[in-house]
Chain A
């Protein structure tokens, strides 16, 4: 019996193609975070502003580094991806617990809140969890390929 070779999760895509993709994605994500939290969301609240500013800036730095093909671009991407991934998981955790809190306090009366919060999670997850996870997988794969 033979074992099939495991297919790499991030198979396919040239190095420059992935740099371009992640560079553009991070630039858009950074812009959305900075505009959304620092411009549109009111009033100012440091507990929201500081992490959002940190993510936004790191995303932009990594985007510039990747698109300009700088050596430090990949290091910046690593930091941006880990930061987004960890904070993203924390945000989703808090949103889900908030949904459970509302459901627990209000019972079935809170169904509408549950649906809206569920929609928020569904919209957030691709950007704040999935994309950083894909970036981290790509970085690891790239590192493995280089070392072998």
Chain B
């Protein structure tokens, strides 16, 4: 190949690439900012199901559509205006599944002159956004579930999935922004009153979804009002802890009673013997996490006046201390069947144990609890020379900085404070700003550029962020750094408040009354698990407690 041939190849190649790119981009892009231009979709929803759909050519025509159906009991009439649409290529299932923005785009199909629309609400109701697929050993999250979407469109068009896949023409579309959900919450709306209301509502969700025996509905599908079959004691204990804290700070007897019942459930049904001490869990092995979080709940209840949890708290503290290693870390598992600790480490548990031991010392007055907590915190924030050798690194571990805050008056650790400030700086790097992110996502933390953000990873980081802010103020950290941290926190709370079910997208819910106050998993995952309101409510409560400046 001569130099001249190479130059010709380069020019042709770059030209071809540029033209292909421009054509592809022009075909795919949507203008989300522009006003309504497409048809108007009028739907009626009852009990979480869409019962009617009409397509009107204009807004004026849409005003008259489905008015009788709107009057039926429990019916909600929803009007969606299409702002823009773009082609979806039929070049395979993977490409089809990657052709929408989860939570924001709908899909339409045209077949034999008829067009069916699946709005973002329809796709949420189908749980078609962000499915996990397994390809060999690889687990991928796609933007939408091709099978669910094509099947639903085929049903609407009265044809088969195969026929529609062969002959249908597909487009994605975006709607003009909805005023109802997510709510329009700006930074100025994150007031003390708003924060307090959000805490109350989160606690109220847990009380509403508590069984008589003290356990909770572990994970509620908002769309169907059905329960997950799973249960998890660390999360039960965490929810109990939040309820007890909210009860104490809001002086709410109903919340306190619910927390007592939840704690009694652990004490009576899930407390085992681990050597000389009590531990919380079930089965042949238990983890340190459930005991640590139960201990936090017991301490909170004790401080609220339920002194009968004092002995249980001291017993659990003894168990945690017995699991501590010489380097300050903990053995995270205990074999109940063989009655010995198992020296393995899992995420979160060391931080939880450190925080719990710090808290219980206020009740026990035992210097060993304080010393154990202090050593654990020192271990957690120690930075090894070789980062790759670190057992813990910046992720979603949010208990360390809460332990820092609780210990600060009794055992201040400036190294831990620097660690927590740096961690929050790292979190700000992955915090979305709008623009360029969608307005509703401003303040959320990213989990990748093409996925919708989840609420709980942000909420737990905010628990730590508020604890860090509290210590930073006491330690006299520079006002500029405090301001940046406070701004990060308020933007995070604005995101959480936008998505809290107060009341949320009620037309998609089977029983909105039971969901009130809950926080969903993400904008595309409308399930509420007990730790979602726990973390979000816990972070908000910490902020509400903080001296406003």
Contact = CB atoms under 8 A, between A and B. Distances in A.
A136 interface: yes
Interface in A35-52: 42-44
Given A89-B13, A113-B450, A108 B436 contact: yes
Interface string A88-121: 0100010011001111111111111100000000
A104 B25 contact: yes
B136 A100 contact: no
B17 A107 contact: no
- Across the A-B interface, the 9 shortest Cβ-Cβ residue pairs: A43-B136, A104-B28, A108-B436, A112-B449, A136-B1, A113-B449, A100-B21, A9-B3, A104-B25
A89 B12 CA distance: 12
Contacts of B24: 97, 100-101, 104
Interface of A: 8-9, 42-44, 89, 93, 96-97, 100-113, 133, 136-137, 139-140
19 contacts: A8-B3, A43-B136, A43-B137, A93-B16, A97-B21, A100-B24, A101-B28, A101-B98, A104-B24, A105-B100, A106-B450, A107-B32, A107-B436, A109-B450, A112-B448, A113-B449, A113-B450, A139-B1, A140-B2
B138 to A, nearest CB: 6
A18 B231 CA distance: 67
A105 B99 contact: yes
B6 A106 contact: no
A109 B437 contact: yes
Contacts of B93: none
B29 interface: yes
B483 interface: no
B446 interface: yes
Nearest to A115: B449
Contacts of A106: 101, 449-450
Nearest to A111: B436
A91 to B, nearest CB: 12
B21 A111 contact: no
A6 to B, nearest CB: 8
- Using C-beta atoms within 8 Å of the partner chain, give the interface range for chain B: 35 or more
B32 A137 contact: no
B435 interface: yes
A103 B369 CA distance: 54
B interface, over-half SS: loop
Contacts of B32: 107
A133 B99 CA distance: 35
B98 A105 contact: yes
A108 B444 CA distance: 16
Interface string B1-13: 1110010000001
A65 B438 CA distance: 56
A137 to B, nearest CB: 6
A137 B135 contact: no
Contacts of B58: none
B180 interface: no
B449 A103 contact: no
Given A101-B24, A133-B6, A140-B1, A109 B138 contact: no
Contact of A109 (B13, B28, B137, B438): B438
B78 interface: no
B86 to A, nearest CB: 8
A108 B435 contact: yes
B25, B30, B138, B172 interface centre (most CB from chain A within 10 Å): B25
Given A43-B137, A104-B27, A109 B449 contact: yes
A96 B17 contact: yes
